[in-house]
A and B are shown apart, each in its own frame.
Chain A
Amino acid sequence: MLQRIRRTFAEEQRPQYSFSTPTRQERSLLRTLRTRITTRVVALAAAAAVLIGLALLVLIVAVSGQRKAAETAFASQDAVSVANDLEKSLISIENALGRYVATRQEKYLVPVRSALRTYPKQQNELARLVSDDPGQQQRVRQIGGAIDDYADLWVRILIDIVRQDGFGKAADQIETDGGRSRLDPIRRNFARLFERERTVIREREDSAASMSQLAINFGIGGLGLVFILATGFTIYLRRSVVRPVLEVADATGRVAAGDLATRVPSDRVDELGDLARGFNSMADTLQRGRDELEYSNAELMRSNAELEQFASVTSHDLQAPLTTISMYAELLERRRAPEADGEGPDLVEGIREATQQARALIRDLLEYSRAGRGRLTLEEIPAAKIVDQALEALAGAIEQSGAHVTVGEMPTVLADRANLCRVIQNLVGNAVKFTGDKTPRVRIDAERDNGLWRFSVRDNGIGMKPEHTARIFEPFHRLHGEEEYPGTGIGLAVCQRIIDQHGGRIWVSSNPGQGSVFQFTLPAVEPPAERSQPNRGAPVRAKA
């Protein structure tokens, strides 16, 4: 019934959220649209690549054109050079032939024969160099034919006339200027060829310059385009991607700082929209979880308070009737003692012992319920004094058991005096109690452990199995029977509550027959240094 009431209450108190899961159609639409940012990025990259590629293509075409124009210009220059050489060869032939006939010296025939051998190669080279210009090819063919005629129908024949008819006849032919009349049209053709090639060179140079300018323009344009695209892309990424991501990151930080009400805009229908929706969903879940946790904590605290109140009230209220029963048992024992047949006193004793045991149990329960509940009164106190108080409180038990208790150097700690005394008292009391047949030997020490003081209470008692070392701090948990070792099993639970309240930790390490070492930590008191130092001057006290 109580649980049902609580569930109902929890459901009423549980916050309601407006976040709704997308339908299948919505998810499909989202999947379709999700690619928009990717598509846009890919489309932008592709467009940039195409534009840059086009710019590079035009650049390559321009550079190729420039190179081709330069090559053509070079070829034209070579053609002019070769044609020049060829024309000079012809002139040198004519001049040498004239000198040969005039002087009748064979030496002048040497360059003629040499030129006659070499001019076909020059002709072929010239034809190759103008092979890209049909008009020039035709002109070179005409020149070649005319040169062949000049060589065959004039030069060689004139030499033949010299050989057969003598220099006189040859001189007559020279006088007719037949060679010149053949060379003149050739030279006019050469002049036209030169003019054409120079025109080609000018055109190619202009073309190369134009291509070069085009290449430069496109290079600059391409760089500008790359800059504009990069800038635009950066701005786009910053606005469309980076900024939303930063908003989510900022919101994540706020959530991490505890502001679970933080949300980010999630109206986009792309990947970032998914991210925002995922973030908001996560924040919703976290907020819902925290609300539920807070609700559970509140419920738990309220339940604990009720239980503790119940235990406190119960134990307090039970004290009075038990006291009354105990008192009446004593009166009955006292009044009926003479008439008793021997059994009466034992029965009354039984009632009284049971009542005392119930009272002890209720007292311990009350102590446990109060332990850790009250406000701590922390003060810097020398641990040695607390230990002394505890040992004095246990003086009877120590003396009765013949225990030998030694105390090492104790520091000054920040603790609640009464509670710390109770812890020491419980631990030393246990050490004295669980001894078996041995004479108890107890050693109390304190060591610095980083920012803490670690206290230890070491005994040579009966010890315990390691698997029991955790459970003995549970309330009313006992490892031995009441007859063997009296007690309620609440002491260590109280110790744990007190140490927890101080922000420390308590644990035990033990083995059967080898004694136990109970340790707990307390925050150290920092400078002034002398206060945190152990009480070097304090003598080791021993209680026997």
Chain B
Amino acid sequence: MRCTAALAVLAALTLVLGGCGGGDSEPSPDTPAPAKKPIRIGTKNFTEQFILGELYSQALEAKGFDVEPKGEIGSTEITHRALTSGSLDMYPEYIGILLSEIADVTDRPGSTAAAYKLAKAYEERRNYTLLEPTPFSNVNALAVKPAYARRHKLRSIADLKRLKGPLRLAALPEFRNRYEGMIGLRDRYGLRNLRMTALEDSAQRYPRLDSGKVDVTVAFSTDGQLVGRRYRLLSDPRGVFGAGQVAPVIHRDVLKAHGPGVAQAIDAVSATLTTNVVRRMNKAVEIDGRKPAQVAKEFLRSHGLVG
């Protein structure tokens, strides 16, 4: 009993003295680092996001990081809250959507770089940050069938106001209450004749348009379906739809915990993602029916980003 008490006192003294002397010292290189939690990477609920999630996850894993994919979380509103609630560590976000739907910035910045800077500043105020943006830009757009465009002489979104009667629009539900959605279209183009049909799945957009159930659909500029000339995108001269570059949003503590390798690996992937590349990968999944994981793996291999 006495021996145990003596050992306890000795251990306590060791801890106190160690604490006093080592306040400013770095941890010893021999000290094993505490086990790091896996990096939880989320994605939104459509094909391009699935591919991006796989690209970033596989690239990080190739660099030896432990990754926990959390795919198909939902729209930006859901996914960003998952990030801020601590359920996610990062996810790829579109800068324009981030500004308009999260940061409530409705005035469009003058350039893509300005938008990125603004969005990054917003996230960093909340202890998050944006990694490097992708070269490709995936902006929201409105698409119609070419025949329909010719018949109604449609070139831009503003031309839709000339059409009489209700315009049937296919979009994901969140489009209804977004500025980059029905609100912005009414606000900037005065489109009061749009009747939105909410879709449960983004994959239903083009079939609805093809079958004539809707007149217009919301498109992503990188949709694989846009390869070829089957659909016509209407221009957005009044800038309802913002910058479409993707920048991964990540918690700064994660970057600190895992070191600079995380950002380097993700940025290396982002730098390779041009519009054509992304559109081809989207096509491979949506039209050719391939798995996002396989498509991402092939791409990373072809760019030497995984072994």
Which of the residues B72, B85, B173 comes within 8 Å of A173, measured between beta carbons? B173
Say yes or no: is B81 at the interface (Cβ < 8 Å to chain A).
yes
Give Cα A165 to B74, complex, Å. 16
Inter-subunit contact B72/A172 (CB<8 Å) = no
Inter-subunit contact B200/A173 (CB<8 Å) = no
Give Cα A158 to B72, complex, Å. 15
Inter-subunit contact B174/A173 (CB<8 Å) = yes
Q: How far does the Cβ of B180 sit from chain A's closest Cβ, in whole Å?
A: 13
Q: Which residues of A contact B82 (CB under 8 A)?
A: 152-153, 157
Q: A172-B176, A173-B174, A176-B200 are in contact. Are A160 and B74 (CB under 8 A)?
A: no
Say yes or no: is A177 at the interface (Cβ < 8 Å to chain B).
yes
Inter-subunit contact A172/B70 (CB<8 Å) = no
Q: Which residues of B contact A168 (CB under 8 A)?
A: 176-177
Which single residue of chain A is at the shortest CB-CB distance from B173?
A175
Inter-subunit contact A172/B78 (CB<8 Å) = no
Say yes or no: is A450 at the interface (Cβ < 8 Å to chain B).
no
Inter-subunit contact B172/A176 (CB<8 Å) = yes
Q: A172-B174, A172-B176 are in contact. Are A154 and B78 (CB under 8 A)?
A: yes
Say yes or no: is A466 at the interface (Cβ < 8 Å to chain B).
no
Inter-subunit contact B81/A169 (CB<8 Å) = no
Say yes or no: is B87 at the interface (Cβ < 8 Å to chain A).
yes
Which single residue of chain A is at the shortest CB-CB distance from B73?
A153
Say yes or no: is B77 at the interface (Cβ < 8 Å to chain A).
yes
Which single residue of chain A is at the shortest CB-CB distance from B88?
A153
Inter-subunit contact B81/A172 (CB<8 Å) = no
Inter-subunit contact A153/B87 (CB<8 Å) = yes
Give Cα A160 to B175, complex, Å. 19
Inter-subunit contact A178/B45 (CB<8 Å) = yes
In A168-204, the 8 Å CB interface with B consists of 168-169, 171-178, 181
Q: Which residues of A contact B70 (CB under 8 A)?
A: 149, 153
Q: Please give the number of chain A residues whose Cβ is less than 8 angstroms from any Cβ of chain B in the complex.
A: 21
Q: Which residues of B contact A152 (CB under 8 A)?
A: 82, 85, 87
Say yes or no: is B193 at the interface (Cβ < 8 Å to chain A).
no
Say yes or no: is B75 at the interface (Cβ < 8 Å to chain A).
yes
Give Cα A168 to B175, complex, Å. 11
Inter-subunit contact B75/A173 (CB<8 Å) = yes
Give Cα A146 to B77, complex, Å. 20
Q: Which residues of A contact B305 (CB under 8 A)?
A: none
Inter-subunit contact A181/B72 (CB<8 Å) = yes
Inter-subunit contact A176/B87 (CB<8 Å) = no
Q: How far does the Cβ of A121 sit from chain B's closest Cβ, in whole Å?
A: 21
For this complex, into which size category does the number of interface residues on chain B fall? 20 to 34
Inter-subunit contact B198/A175 (CB<8 Å) = yes
Q: Mark B133-175, 1 if CB is under 8 A from A, else 0.
A: 0000000000000000000000000000000000000001111
Q: Is the interface of A mostly helix, strand, loop or mixed?
A: helix
Inter-subunit contact A157/B173 (CB<8 Å) = no
Which single residue of chain A is at the shortest CB-CB distance from B202?
A176
Which single residue of chain A is at the shortest CB-CB distance from B86?
A152
Give Cα A175 to B204, complex, Å. 14
Say yes or no: is A366 at the interface (Cβ < 8 Å to chain B).
no
Q: Mark B11-52, 1 if CB is under 8 A from A, else 0.
A: 000000000000000000000000000000010010000000
Q: Which residues of A contact B81 (CB under 8 A)?
A: 157, 160-161
Q: Which residues of B contact A157 (CB under 8 A)?
A: 74, 78, 81-82, 85, 87
Inter-subunit contact B72/A176 (CB<8 Å) = no
Say yes or no: is A156 at the interface (Cβ < 8 Å to chain B).
yes
Q: How far does the Cβ of B112 sit from chain A's closest Cβ, in whole Å?
A: 27
Q: How far does the Cβ of A97 sit from chain B's closest Cβ, in whole Å?
A: 13
Q: Which residues of A contact B85 (CB under 8 A)?
A: 152, 156-157, 160
Which single residue of chain B is at the shortest CB-CB distance from A152?
B87
Which single residue of chain B is at the shortest CB-CB distance from A177?
B200
Q: How far does the Cβ of B82 sit from chain A's closest Cβ, in whole Å?
A: 5
Q: Which residues of B contact A165 (CB under 8 A)?
A: 77
Give Cα A91 to B173, complex, Å. 22
In B75-125, the 8 Å CB interface with A consists of 75, 77-78, 81-82, 85, 87-88
Q: Mark A283-327, 1 if CB is under 8 A from B, else 0.
A: 000000000000000000000000000000000000000000000
Give Cα A175 to B199, complex, Å. 8
Which of the residues B72, B73, B77 comes within 8 Å of A169, measured between beta carbons? B77
From A154, A157, A161, A168, residue with most partner B Cβ within 10 Å: A157
Inter-subunit contact B73/A176 (CB<8 Å) = no
Q: Mark A137-158, 1 if CB is under 8 A from B, else 0.
A: 0000000000001001110111
Give Cα A173 to B200, complex, Å. 10
Give Cα A344 to B25, complex, Å. 174
Q: Which residues of B contact A156 (CB under 8 A)?
A: 85
Q: Which residues of B contact A161 (CB under 8 A)?
A: 77-78, 81
Q: How far does the Cβ of B201 sit from chain A's closest Cβ, in whole Å?
A: 8
Q: Which residues of A contact B173 (CB under 8 A)?
A: 171-176
Q: Which residues of B contact A177 (CB under 8 A)?
A: 200
From B75, B77, B176, residue with most partner A Cβ within 10 Å: B77
Q: Which residues of A contact B174 (CB under 8 A)?
A: 169, 172-173, 176
Q: Which residues of B contact A153 (CB under 8 A)?
A: 42, 70, 73-74, 78, 82, 87-88
Q: Which residues of A contact B73 (CB under 8 A)?
A: 153-154, 178
Give Cα A154 to B198, complex, Å. 19
Q: Which residues of A contact B75 (CB under 8 A)?
A: 172-173, 176, 178
Inter-subunit contact B45/A172 (CB<8 Å) = no
Q: How far does the Cβ of A317 sit from chain B's closest Cβ, in whole Å?
A: 126
| Chain A residues in the interface with B (C-beta under 8 A) | 149, 152-154, 156-158, 160-161, 165, 168-169, 171-178, 181
Closest 9 CB pairs of A and B: A175-B173, A172-B173, A152-B87, A157-B81, A172-B174, A178-B74, A177-B200, A175-B198, A153-B82
A-B contact pairs, 19 of them (CB 8 A): A149-B70, A149-B87, A152-B85, A157-B78, A157-B85, A158-B78, A160-B81, A168-B177, A169-B77, A172-B75, A172-B77, A173-B75, A173-B77, A173-B173, A175-B173, A175-B200, A176-B198, A176-B200, A181-B45
Known: A160-B81, A169-B174. 4 other contacts (CB 8 A): A153-B70, A168-B176, A176-B198, A181-B45
